[in-house]
Structure 1
């Protein structure tokens, strides 16, 4: 990371203690311009290398992440205040993602033969070329997973990268950059620009060739507007109000265990964690009591050792949102079944895992994303009502369905309007299936990460049609009326052949 001239310092604080642990430059638009220029200068040589060569670099990076995991875990915990196990999930995710694209990515963006409607005359192929420089504006809640995993496929596709990490978590990104360079990524190819998002957003979007953002829906709308203004393709994973549906035949032991973890992982500061649980009435009381008991058993701790279940919130601003949502719920008549308190005895930003019941639809926590350790449980008369309640939101990121009938579970999953649904799981199986796309619909965003979709969005698709024989242009010696009849007969013949021998058979 380099700056143009001297810059003010931006302090970084540790959520566990509130102490300043370091500073980074408060970059300005000129720094963004310089970073994009440096990245663009390095991109051509990188794209000229074979994709297999680039894949080997990603493979070495995966090994480096695992080998240097202790330093990464320390950096993640210092900046976010999450538990060590939650930090480990980031390290493992980055290693898996790098390994996946190193192994499968080259086949996902190579030249592909396409069907021609003029067989024998026209040979059609498509190929994927890098867009150039890809920009990334990433959040604080998963500073390794969301910053680094998102741009690994962009690198493999032959692009350069400019990353603007969250101002709360720059050191994790800088450490990952060090490991990337050690693995063979040219130093100028990946640029890290530190500072606040507002003054750097448009300078970045106006200069890059693609922008990826993970964060709030409100900010996502602003980025989409800027991307449209500058005709830059955008991939946006935004907010969520994720529901879980528990049917009467579900394995309650498994459902409670998974949903407690899926609700309070990273202190609920997770885009695919659960904030709403709808339970069929015959098992509601039992599920509620078990869920509350399991929530009560969650341990909090500010430690760099494995052990505590729930870590800290990241900032005073984030804890204020959680407190305001719970206070509003209480004022409107909701019942706090457990939790609902600050835990200053553990650390300055800790908040107890909280379960709400009887939450009115008018409450803030019923409609807006809390992004903290707060979950609502609600009885529903049947599965249809559960699906209707799950869909009663402007968001559509992730959902979970619990039932002993897996076929019924898949059917219900297909009726929930979200980008992904886990059946009889919280989200680990879905997220860990790196070959499958993940992202949101409606107010939860556009675009996908993971799988072929996660690398192809960083490419421009080019079609090359090669003609055998003379070019397909009207012959001057043949009357136009005859050509029109012949062309129409040809199209009818192609359609009839397609009906007799469909391509999917």
Structure 2
């Protein structure tokens, strides 16, 4: 692909501005060529069968594990996040690769399903077959973990993948693809195309069998429009405005610690990060004091002692500042930080109180180290206000009552909820991950994530002759027996 491309671009360390790497800008011709190569690789990969794919995927996992620090260092340099956070990201990717490799056959492999009495002479088999070529458009905030949530599961399901990473973090995807190629040199089961929006558009509009997209809601709409030309299905994981609820009987100290991590880690650049906190009145003051106390000791920077790094995408700084300014202009109070906290490329911690629900700081995704805290009278009110957002990705509830927390968790609109923890679901490979509303649709991770990259195939095989209902030689006796059986099975009254 590089030979076809003369234009290139550089990835930069957002903290220092130093050049991290140089990558080609792949146009439509190069993207189409990659998809065509992937088509052949997909056929070969699918024909290997479950066992051989599992062995190779586990060896990819092993190669990634042995290169953990090397990969984490590159993540650190391209995103600016602390090296320990980058290492944790690699660990999560390893965990998900392992689960997908080991569980794919059990979830997707052929299995017999009940035929029912009316079709007792038929053996019914359900299996899931690969789609073919999956296009993955990845984000910059978790440049390994998030794409692997699609890449690993798509490969485990028997597909080949063409990945377009963010232009801010192309090196991470390129390095991972090199590892995959070193383990599976026979065919290009994972290829990376780099560039800007035009490259992503070429992939979305190309001859792929599915697109897995992670990014903003407006961009998701553009990707969907491109996919519509070919009726290409898409799984979209978009933004969030996740709520964190603190009940009256919660462990306030633990809740404050978790909310702070959920809001400030990775400089707040997490789609499932905490942006809104609703606290029951009786513990509100205590919670706010604990949260502010812990937030004041956090410090952004590029050194090993920094709590979090810079804002990776420079344009996000304007959005963060606009949200803080709007919150204060509408009567909100900044008890930690404030408008002056935005100091390019960093944003110091900001905690806002008394912010109106219609403020952009509450309604729109901020994607920075800011948090709004709201007083509510009850858990019920907290759930109602949390659900008022057009975003519905994830959330968290802290409560001393297991039943109350479970009930509230089920009623929170969104794909995932953690109880007495924050973002815990992301570390559980068996749990599906995704949102509803403006947060997207479809699921990665877990059994649902494997099925997302496969098509159901139903097969019946007649074992013996029975009632001859689907033939022009059907007799009155055959039909009478069928109607008698249906009446017996389904005609009763239920109380």
- State the TM-score, normalized to the length of structure 1: 0.93
2:402 corresponds in structure 1 to 406
Equivalent residues of 1:215, 1:237 under 8 A apart: yes
2:23 corresponds in structure 1 to 24
Match of 2:307 among 306, 309, 331: 309
Alpha-carbon distance in structure 1 between the residues aligned to 2:427 and 2:186: 29
Deviations 1:298-321, CA, capped at 9 Å, x for gaps? 132203x4x322111102201121
Match of 2:427 among 423, 428, 432: 432
Alpha-carbon distance in structure 1 between the residues aligned to 2:43 and 2:107: 21
Alpha-carbon distance in structure 2 between the residues aligned to 1:372 and 1:198: 27
2:41 corresponds in structure 1 to 42
The answer to whether 1:375 aligns with 2:371 is yes
Alpha-carbon distance in structure 1 between the residues aligned to 2:64 and 2:187: 17
Q: 1:476 to 1:144 in 2, by over 3 A?
A: closer
Mapping for residues 342-381 of structure 1, pairs under 5 Å: 348-381=344-377
Describe the SS at the equivalent of 2:301: coil
Equivalent residues of 1:341, 1:352 under 8 A apart: no
Equivalent residues of 2:396, 2:417 under 8 A apart: yes
- Deviation of residue 474 (structure 1)? 4.8
- Name structure 1 gaps, 5 residues minimum: 500-505
- Name structure 2 gaps, 5 residues minimum: none
Alpha-carbon distance in structure 1 between the residues aligned to 2:62 and 2:427: 18
2:91 corresponds in structure 1 to 92
1:460 corresponds in structure 2 to 455
Deviates more, 1:242-251 or 1:143-152: 143-152
Alpha-carbon distance in structure 2 between the residues aligned to 1:133 and 1:359: 46
Mapping for residues 164-179 of structure 1, pairs under 5 Å: 164-179=164-179
Q: 1:293 to 1:103 in 2, by over 3 A?
A: same
Alpha-carbon distance in structure 1 between the residues aligned to 2:45 and 2:444: 22
Q: 1:237 to 1:186 in 2, by over 3 A?
A: farther
1:327 corresponds in structure 2 to 325
Equivalent residues of 1:214, 1:237 under 8 A apart: yes
- Deviation of residue 63 (structure 1)? 1.7
1:13 corresponds in structure 2 to 12
Q: 1:498 to 1:132 in 2, by over 3 A?
A: farther
1:293 corresponds in structure 2 to 293
Give me the CA root mean square deviation: 2.1
Mapping for residues 231-246 of structure 1, pairs under 5 Å: 231-246=231-246
Equivalent residues of 2:27, 2:198 under 8 A apart: no
Describe the SS at the equivalent of 1:400: strand
- State the TM-score, normalized to the length of structure 2: 0.95
Alpha-carbon distance in structure 1 between the residues aligned to 2:113 and 2:195: 46
Alpha-carbon distance in structure 1 between the residues aligned to 2:328 and 2:335: 11
Equivalent residues of 1:125, 1:463 under 8 A apart: yes
1:197 corresponds in structure 2 to 197
Q: 1:17 to 1:477 in 2, by over 3 A?
A: closer
Alpha-carbon distance in structure 1 between the residues aligned to 2:471 and 2:242: 62
- Deviation of residue 479 (structure 1)? 4.7
- Deviation of residue 198 (structure 1)? 3.7
The answer to whether 1:226 aligns with 2:221 is no
Describe the SS at the equivalent of 1:462: strand
Alignment coverage as a number of residue pairs? 493
- Deviation of residue 209 (structure 1)? 0.2
Alpha-carbon distance in structure 2 between the residues aligned to 1:309 and 1:187: 42
Alpha-carbon distance in structure 2 between the residues aligned to 1:38 and 1:476: 48
2:145 corresponds in structure 1 to 145
